[in-house]
Structure 1
Amino acid sequence: MNARPSTLPTPGSGAAGGHRPLDWNVAVATAVRLMKPGPEVPREDAEQAVRALRRFSVEAESHVRDLTGLGQDLPIIPGDVVDRPSWVRGAANGLAALTDAALTSADARMQRVDDLFGGLSARSAGVQAGLVLAYLGGKVLGQFDPYGESGVAGQRGRLLLVAPNIVAAQRSLGVPAEDFWMWVCLHESTHRLQFNAVPWLREHFTESLGVLLAEMEGTTGELLSRLPTVLREARAARSGDSSPGMLGVIELLQTPQQRLALDRIIAISTLLEGHADHVMDAVGPRVVPSVATIRRRFTERRKGGGLLDRILRSLLGVDAKIRQYAQGAAFTRHVVDEVGMTGFNAVWTAPDHLPTRAEISDPAAWIRRIHG
């Protein structure tokens, strides 16, 4: 569906003395080879979807600006409508740029990442990353990559809309096509606006990831040596049939310093995802008449899948990300209800105005800290 080609990341380039612990070319090749093809769509229908998604990506951002008050003077450009392989290439480029930027400030950080990979070759790590990308490549509807090149002055990053996945999801949900396409564009356009309207956000996210990587101490073997104890503690602590999930196990394996660094990344990600989910539904009734039906069916779809799919989602952290949408949206909704959108926008004024992970679950605490 009219894919825009992307330049593959060059292995061996990048931060920390020109070394990468992961061969992104191998990751891309693995993912493209393993991915399933998209749905069969008549050419005329495919071309219509591509044209509509480009148009909606512009219209959606205008609606988001009207609601949030952010980025009023920034240019708006159409998103890139891509197929699954092109999304994989774009995602790999973005991840390579993000990790290079996060690691570039200190050679010590690079060494710790080498330790974390515990002797895996760059090629082996690339194969593992490719398996993840292959799975996600059939699921992802869209993505804003803050580290991609837009080619337009005043705009950084690329908005990617994965046409075959959007069409497949719309069909499976049984909702009006144009309503669903606009709804997806509202979410991704919100992410584009977050990063372009808040000048410090991109660098702050990069630095926060760098701090997390800098705190990763010990080899993979040392981490795995703690795993049996951690799993016993998790089983002892679990209530009923619930479990801590993959993210909970990772947190239990970490030192207190690592958890603080991870908390910061989780808080930022949860805010960004939840804010986008809130905006897409708040804008929705004016421009997406069937928004309530779409939200209800899409929420059920997020919970679905067979046993293998649910296992993969848990291992890859997809379920943790789904919880982020709900938690972040609840935080945003509570704050907007209490102090309005202008009061909520205080989160974008400085890094120390971002909510902590604890405040995401207790938005009243954030309101007290920021608004007195």
Structure 2
Amino acid sequence: MNLYDSVRAVAEASGEGLIDWNAVTRAARSAVDPGDLSLSAATRSGYARDVRDARTRIQEVSAVEFDLPDVVEVQNRHHWVDANIATFERVMGTLETETRGFAPDLGFARVLNTGSMTVALSFLANNVLGQYDPLLLADAPAEDHALYFVHPNIVRVADELDVSEERFRRWIAFHEVTHAAEFGAAPWLSGHLEDRMERSVAALGEGSIDREAFREVNAAMTAVEGYAELLMDRAFDDEYEDLRRKVEARRGGKGPVSQLVRRLLGMGMKRRQYERGKAFFEDVVDARGLEAASVVWERPENLPTDAELDAPGKWLARVA
């Protein structure tokens, strides 16, 4: 880790766009310690076993058929940066195209935006534990997706929480595989999210906000996170309440700078999505069972609206 090199990379940002992505990559890698990735044979086989077991258990619990990603990687923090830089560039590139005329001083804006992206990627690289990536807005075929585990972060957080590394790793694997199950059960979901994201970006480029598109993206992601929590609770083959309690306490116990960055990155919103989505699906399951909850993935029209997330009975009356 070399903060001087990171700052220099940002300050020397160049090119024609509002963000110098090569500089972001160099700066983020310089700002973040890659972490140890010397895996024992037992640890390597443990990751593979956890993913296989998660798939089997989730299929048994949900009766949903899905394929695991072709790419399942155990990474260090630099690997995670490299894997995600293209995603950031795709999403921000669309916004950059729409808003290019709003930057009176392109050089200053480029340095500022390059620095902002560096902070975001560096923070996430130090905190992401596992990630299911459906490769939204990619040119690749829709079936391409990937599953990542950031091993140094998993080891560090397991130690901070005073829990078994093997058990914590397995819990993370189950959570990420549930996302693979959702996108596998709903092949239309990636396109649905992409369409709303593109609408939102286009509106921003015109100087307005497409509130309906934002609401639809938020409602869809709340369903994704809530269903994953529901499924994981029923599929995980061990006690988990202590893990969840410790993770929630850790999120709330972060320092002021970390809390600020989390808010700026929308991570507080994601936590709300977990809680709100899980409450919605728990009410649905209590009323009609898990099969009724799974109906949400049959077609886009079955996604709950923002209002229905707080009134599951209305969604059941409409859909199930």
TM-score after normalising by structure 2: 0.84
Indicate the residue corresponding to 1:27 in structure 2. 24
Matched residue, 1:176 = 164
| 1:179 shift after superposition | 1.8
1:364 maps to 313
**Aligned equivalent of 2:124:** 136
2:12 is matched with none
- Equivalent runs, 1:318-329 vs 2, <5 Å: 318-329=267-278
Q: Distance in 2 between matches of 1:117 and 1:363?
A: 44
Q: Name the structure 2 match of 1:209.
A: 197
Post-superposition offset of 1:54: 2.7
**Distance in structure 2 (CA, Å) of the matches to 1:143 and 1:297:** 20
Whether the 8 Å CA contact 1:94–1:145 is kept in 2: the answer is no
Question: Quick one: distance in 1 between partners of 2:290 and 2:253?
Answer: 33
Q: Does 1:271 align with 2:223?
A: yes
Superposition deviation, residue 146 in structure 1: 0.8
SS at 2:293's partner residue? helix
Q: Tell me, what secondary structure is at the counterpart of 1:80?
A: strand
3-state DSSP of counterpart to 2:175: helix
- Deviation at residue 332 of structure 1 after TM alignment: 1.6
Q: Is the 8 A contact 2:68 2:180 kept in 1?
A: no
Partner Cα separation in structure 2 for residue 204 and residue 154 of structure 1: 12
Q: Where in structure 2 are there 5+ consecutive unaligned residues?
A: 1-15
Q: What is the identity, as a one-letter code, of the residue corresponding to 1:112?
A: E
Would the aligned equivalents of 1:144 and 1:188 in 2 still touch at CA under 8 Å?
yes
When residues 116 and 260 of structure 1 are mapped into structure 2, their CA distance, relative to the original with a 3 A threshold, is farther
Matches within 5 A, 1:73-88: 74=67, 79-88=72-81
* Separation in structure 2 between the aligned mates of residue 145 and residue 75 of structure 1, nearest angstrom: 11
Distance of 1:189 and 1:96 partners within structure 2: 25
Choose which of 290, 293, 300 in structure 2 pairs with 1:344: 293
Q: Whole-Å Cα distance in 1 between the matches of residues 301 and 102 of structure 2?
A: 30
Q: Is the 8 A contact 1:57 1:185 kept in 2?
A: yes
Deviating beyond 6 angstroms after TM superposition, the runs of 4 or more aligned structure 1 residues are none
Distance 1:348 1:134 in 2: 34
Which position in structure 2 is the counterpart of 1:309?
Answer: 258
Per-residue Cα deviation, 1:26-62 (whole angstroms, up to 9, x for no partner)? 2222211112453x68x56x55433312321222122
Give the TM-score normalised by structure 1. 0.73
**1:171–1:201 CA distance, 2 compared to 1 (3 A):** same
SS at match of 1:358: helix
How many Å separate the matches in 1 of 2:314 and 2:200? 25
Q: Contact (CA 8 Å) 1:54, 1:80: kept in 2 or not?
A: no
Partner Cα separation in structure 2 for residue 110 and residue 328 of structure 1: 32
Higher mean alpha-carbon deviation, 27-36 vs 264-273, is at 27-36
Residue pairs, 1:116-135, within 5 angstroms: 120=106, 121-122=109-110, 124-135=112-123
Deviation of 1:212 after TM superposition, in Å, equals 0.9
Contact 2:154 2:165 in 1 (8 A): no
Instruction: Report SS of the residue matched to 2:204.
Output: coil
Residue among 130, 137, 144 paired with 1:156: 144
Alpha-carbon contact 2:24-2:118 (below 8 Å) kept? yes
- In the alignment, the residues of structure 1 paired with residue 288 and residue 101 of structure 2 have an alpha-carbon distance, to the nearest angstrom, of 46
Are positions 1:92 and 2:85 aligned together? yes
Task: Work out the CA distance in 1 between the residues paired with 2:142 and 2:267.
Answer: 32
**Retained in 1: the 8 A contact 2:220–2:303?**
yes
1:261 corresponding residue in structure 2: 213
Q: Would the alpha carbon gap of residues 75 and 57 (structure 1) be closer, same or farther in structure 2, given more than 3 Å must change?
A: closer
CA displacement at 1:78 relative to structure 2 = 6.9
Q: Determine the C-alpha separation between the residues in 2 that align with 1:89 and 1:325.
A: 27
Q: Determine whether 1:199 maps to 2:187.
A: yes
Query: Distance in 2 between the 1:123 and 1:48 partners?
Result: 45
Matched residue count: 301
The secondary structure found in structure 2 opposite 1:215 is: helix
Distance 1:113 1:354, change over 3 A: farther
- Seen in structure 2, the aligned counterparts of structure 1 residues 37 and 154 have a Cα distance that, compared at 3 Å, is closer
Per the alignment, residue 114 of structure 1 pairs with 100
Aligned partner of 2:235 in structure 1 is 283
CA apart distance, 1:178: 2.0
Distance 1:115 1:358 in 2: 36
2:51 paired residue number: 57
Is the Cα–Cα contact under 8 Å of residues 69 and 145 in structure 2 kept in the other structure?
no
The answer to whether the 8 A contact 1:156-1:196 is kept is no
Identify if the C-alpha distance between structure 1 residues 20 and 68 changes in structure 2 by more than 3 Å, giving closer, same or farther: farther
Any gaps of 5 or more consecutive residues in structure 1? 1-18, 104-108, 220-254
Inter-CA distance 116–349: structure 2 relative to 1 (3 Å threshold)? farther
Residue identity matched to 1:140 = V
Judged with a 3 Å threshold, the aligned counterparts in structure 2 of structure 1 residues 334 and 216 are, in CA distance, closer, same or farther, namely same
**Is the 1:57–1:78 Cα contact (8 Å) retained in structure 2?**
no
